[in-house]
């Protein structure tokens, strides 16, 4: 079998842990598997490097940021290859430009366009374990790029797709995908399986266990992902195509994202073209907008509210001040004190009343809803940040996730 394994930051946090994953890799190798190993930087290293750059100036050059932060993964790749060789397992590291992970040139959030796998394949054919640093790529001009926070997951799945691997295993500090973040909801349960669609929603709504783009790749190329713990042995969670016998509750999971800012442009003249003005300015700046609410018009004026990732908050605010000046809006306000709580599940398609149940659960807890957005398989509410975790736990209980479908049916 050809297996791609990815080890996250906590799994490679020090030499002891690197030695422990090396032993696991050797076990797989002894069973005659071909292995491509994708590694993250040591836990905390990417943040440390970013802080260094931001202590120099507020907006460090993004090309240079990529040169800087990609070193975290490079260090671990070399350390793992040295460890494997020291344990008499033939291994070789191939950096992003050597493994030919080609991306576009959007520094700090580049997208993989293709992988030219010749070098990897020839190393595998020589019996080597290939170690590739996650998160990094190279653009057509040879510049180092990075794939956005959590991007090593995407490196792994993209490699698995390009190499036509049998499975992509993601090793992390939890033993699978849970019905809610187990670190904030102690009653969360591990799911045996979850469909690509649901995982895609959960990842985009704050379940950082997998980076969203990794799930997009997996879905597009039908690469099954197995999420497992690098610390314990267990079955993990299989992320795969929807199958008929999957558990079908109204809701599969509850997610929580406290890394968004809410921006309100008030007293905007209510006439055609204004929303397009606002959102074109944001998309031209590559800022992804999430929840959008337009208030009912009062005397030909309206308020437009939307959320963006905290990382883009200040940039979006500045842009909106410019736009407000041009379109004659009264003022722009930014609120970082919010959290977005969401429920996700394919089961919503066939159950009525899910939204009203969510709203009444929040009301019962005295939590005010500031904005709402829905899709076929998710409902999100923006609430005050201090109520975010409480909301997750209340929804988890109300939708029967504490006990789970199987037990509930007995
Ligand atoms: P890694 O460094 O291995 O990439 P991450 O920190 O990026 O690990 O992702 C793992 C974390 O994701 C867990 O520690 C957990 O707190 C968080 N998480 C959020 N939602 C979920 C969920 N639904 N299931 C499992 N983990 C979740
Ligand atoms: N080291 C990068 C980060 O912290 C990429 C990753 O770990 O996936 O975001
Ligand atoms: Mg991660």
pLDDT digits (tens, 9 = 90+) for 351-389: 888 999 999 999 999 999 999 999 999 999 999 999 999
With the most atoms of ligand 2 within 8 angstroms of its CB, the residue from 38, 43, 46 to mutate is 46
Expressed in angstroms and rounded, the spacing between residue 37 Cα and the centre of ligand 3 is: 15
Q: What is the pLDDT of residue 297?
A: 72
- For residue 296, is pLDDT > 80? no
Does the pTM surpass 0.85? The reply is yes
- For residue 270, is pLDDT > 90? no
Kindly report the CATH number that applies to the domain delimited by 243-410: 3.30.2130.10
- For residue 408, is pLDDT > 50? no
The per-residue DSSP string of 174-231 comes to SSS-BSS-TTT-TT--B-SEEEHHHHHHHHHTT-TTS-HHHHHHHHHHT--EEEEESS
CA of 190, closest atom in ligand 1: 24
The verdict on the CB of residue 133 being under 6 Å from ligand 2 is no
| Distance from C-alpha of 274 to C-alpha of 168, rounded to nearest angstrom | 45
- For residue 406, is pLDDT > 60? no
3 state DSSP class of 216:
helix
Q: What is the pLDDT of residue 407?
A: 38
**Please, are residues 11 and 21 in contact by the beta-carbon 8 Å criterion?**
yes
Expressed in angstroms and rounded, the spacing between residue 29 Cα and the centre of ligand 1 is: 27
Region 231-235 average pLDDT = 92
- For residue 320, is pLDDT > 60? yes
- CATH class, 2-173 region: alpha beta
Ligand nearest to the CA of 231: 1
Expressed in angstroms and rounded, the spacing between residue 325 Cα and the centre of ligand 1 is: 41
- For residue 299, is pLDDT > 90? no
- For residue 109, is pLDDT > 70? yes
For the segment 117-155, what is each residue's pLDDT rounded down to a tens digit?
999 999 999 999 999 999 999 999 999 999 999 999 999
Q: What is the pLDDT of residue 115?
A: 96
Phi then psi dihedrals of residue 173, to 5 deg: -95, 5
Where b means 16+ CB within 10 Å and e means fewer, 125-134 reads eeebbbbbbb
**Please, are residues 193 and 243 in contact by the beta-carbon 8 Å criterion?**
yes
For the segment 275-294, what is each residue's pLDDT rounded down to a tens digit?
898 999 999 998 999 899 88
Beta-carbon-side half-sphere exposure of residue 345 (alpha carbons within 13 Å): 25
Expressed in angstroms and rounded, the spacing between residue 259 Cα and the centre of ligand 1 is: 15
Q: What is the pLDDT of residue 247?
A: 54
- For residue 35, is pLDDT > 80? yes
**Domain segments of the chain: what residues?**
2-173, 243-410
**Please, are residues 11 and 25 in contact by the beta-carbon 8 Å criterion?**
no
Model confidence at 205, pLDDT cuts 50, 70, 90, reads very high
Percent of the chain with pLDDT over 70: 97
Beta-carbon-side half-sphere exposure of residue 408 (alpha carbons within 13 Å): 13
| Distance from C-alpha of 82 to C-alpha of 90, rounded to nearest angstrom | 9
Q: Which token pair is 80?
A: 């793992």
Tell me the sheet residues that pair with 323.
Answer: none
Write down the mean pLDDT value for the chain.
93
β-sheet with 167-172: strand ranges across: 91-93, 129-133, 34-39, 2-7, 167-172, 225-229, 237-240, 193-195
- For residue 405, is pLDDT > 60? no
CA of 178, closest atom in ligand 1: 24
Q: What is the pLDDT of residue 245?
A: 60
């Amino acid at each position: 079998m050809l297996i791609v394994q990815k080890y996250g930051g906590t799994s490679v946090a020090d030499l002891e842990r690197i030695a422990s994953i090396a032993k696991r890799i050797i076990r797989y190798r002894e069973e005659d598997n071909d292995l491509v190993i994708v590694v993250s930087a040591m836990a905390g290293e990417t943040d440390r490097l970013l802080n260094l750059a931001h202590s120099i100036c507020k907006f460090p050059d993004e090309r240079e940021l990529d040169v800087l932060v990609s070193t975290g993964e490079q260090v671990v790749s070399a350390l793992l290859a040295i460890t494997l060789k020291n344990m008499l397992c033939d291994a070789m590291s191939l950096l992003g430009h050597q493994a030919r992970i080609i991306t576009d040139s959007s520094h700090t959030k580049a997208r993989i366009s293709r992988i030219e796998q010749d070098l990897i394949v020839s190393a595998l054919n020589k019996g080597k374990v290939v170690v590739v640093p996650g998160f990094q790529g190279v653009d057509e001009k040879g510049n180092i790029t990075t794939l956005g926070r959590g991007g090593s997951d995407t490196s792994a799945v993209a490699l698995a797709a390009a190499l036509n691997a049998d499975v992509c295993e993601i090793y992390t500090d939890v033993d699978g995908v849970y019905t809610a973040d187990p670190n904030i909801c102690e009653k969360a349960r591990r799911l045996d399986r979850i469909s690509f669609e649901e995982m895609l929603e959960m990842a985009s709504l704050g379940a950082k266990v997998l980076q969203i783009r990794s799930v997009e790749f997996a879905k597009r190329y039908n690469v099954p992902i197995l999420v497992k713990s690098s610390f314990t042995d267990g079955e993990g969670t299989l992320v795969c195509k929807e199958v008929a016998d999957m558990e079908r509750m109204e809701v599969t999971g509850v997610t929580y994202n406290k890394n968004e800012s809410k921006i309100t442009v008030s007293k905007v003249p209510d006439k055609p073209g204004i929303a397009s003005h606002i959102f074109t300015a944001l998309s031209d700046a590559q800022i992804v907008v999430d929840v959008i609410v337009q208030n009912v018009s009062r005397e030909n004026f309206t308020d437009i509210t939307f959320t963006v990732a905290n990382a883009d908050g200040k940039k979006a605010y500045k842009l909106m001040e410019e736009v407000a000046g041009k379109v004659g809006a009264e003022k722009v306000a930014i609120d970082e004190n919010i959290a977005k709580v969401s429920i996700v599940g394919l089961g919503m398609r066939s159950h009525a009343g899910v939204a009203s149940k969510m709203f009444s659960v929040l009301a019962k807890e005295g939590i005010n809803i500031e904005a709402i957005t829905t899709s076929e398989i998710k409902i999100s509410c923006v609430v005050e940040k201090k109520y975010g975790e409480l909301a997750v736990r209340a929804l988890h209980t109300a939708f029967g996730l504490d006990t789970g479908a199987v037990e509930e049916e007995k």
